[in-house]
Amino acid sequence: MEKILEVKNICKTYQAENGEIESLRNISFDVNRGEFISIIGPSGCGKSTLLSIIAGLENKTSGEIYINGKIGYMLQKDNLLEWRTIYKNVLLGLEIQKSNTPENRKYVEELLKKYELYEFKDKYPTQLSGGMRQRVALIRTLAIKPSILLLDEAFSALDYQTRLMVTEDIYKILKNENITALMVTHDISEAISMSDRVIVLSHRPATVKKIYSIDFEMENRTPLNCREKPKFSEYFNLMWKQLEEIK
C-alpha cells in the first residue's frame, strides 16, 4: 500500500519560562492512502501538538516526517470569515496559495453542488446552520486538493445531534473523494465509528501506547450504522480500559 504519511521518532520539548516540558516522545506511525486514522489519548497529552507538527505549524525537537502530497487541516471551529460569502470563504485557501484559477474554481463549484451548498454560495456564514458551516469548512480545505486531511477535534464544537450528523456527512464526503484522514479526538466512540485504525497515546510525555485495527466486516460502513454492531462496544471497552490503565 502507498504511504501518504510517515511519522518517525517525533519528539517535542517546549521551552517555557518556568522550565522545559516534554510533550511528545518517540512517536512513530504510518498512514496509508485511503485510510482513516484516529489518535486518542488523555486530555493535554499533546495530541493537537502532534497534528500541528505534522502540518508544519509548529517545530519539532527531533524526528522525521514524510508527506506524500499536500496537507489539508480542519480545526475545531469552522472559522468561516463572516465578511465573506460562502463562495468567497471556500476560495480562501486557493487565494492564499495563489491557485485561484478557473479550473480550480470549477472544481470548487462542483464540490458545492455535490454537497448541497451551491444554492447558498452567495449567503454569509451567519445565515447557515452549524452542520452546514462545517461542511463549508471541509470544502474550503478540499479545494486545495490535499492528499491527507488532518482533523483537530473538528466536531467537538458542535452539539451532540449535529455532531453525529456532521461526522456522517464528512465521512461520506471523505470516502467519496477518496481522501486519507488523520483525526485527533478525545471521543472514543467517534474514533471507533470513523476509523480504520486508532492510535492510543499515553500521558505526557506522550508515547504510542497501542494501535488498534478496527474492522466491522461490513459493506458500506458509515459512522452511524457501525455503532449498532456488537463489535462496537467491544472496541469501546477495550479502549476505555486502555485509557483507564494510562491514568
Rounded CA gap, 218 and 200, in Å?
Answer: 24
25, amino acid identity: R
Instruction: Give the end-to-end CA distance of the chain in Å, rounded to a whole number.
Output: 35
Stretch that binds another protein, among 5-13, 94-102, 186-194, 198-206 (CB under 8 A): 94-102
Rounded CA gap, 18 and 35, in Å?
Answer: 40
- Residue 75: CB minimum distance to another protein, A: 6
Locate 136 and state its grid cell.
Answer: 463549508
Which secondary-structure segment (H or E) carries 14?
strand 3-16
Q: Per-residue string for binding with another protein, 48-67, x by CB under 8 A?
A: -------xxx----------
Nearer to another protein, 54 or 192 (CB): 54
Among 144, 165, 173, 238, binds another protein (CB under 8 A): 144
93 contributes a contact to another protein by CB under 8 A: yes
- 3-class SS letters over 4-69: EEEEEEEEEEEEECCEEEEEEEEEEEEEECCCEEEEECCCCCCHHHHHHHHHCCCCCCEEEEEECC
Rounded CA gap, 148 and 5, in Å?
Answer: 8
Q: Per-residue string for binding with another protein, 179-218, x by CB under 8 A?
A: ----------------------------------------
Among 36, 41, 73, 142, binds another protein (CB under 8 A): 73
Among 2, 20, 83, 102, binds another protein (CB under 8 A): 83
Among 76, 100, 147, 222, binds another protein (CB under 8 A): 76
Which secondary-structure segment (H or E) carries 12?
strand 3-16
Nearer to another protein, 83 or 160 (CB): 83
Note the residues at the interface with another protein (CB under 8 A).
Answer: 55-57, 71-73, 75-77, 79, 81, 83-84, 92-93, 95-97, 141, 144
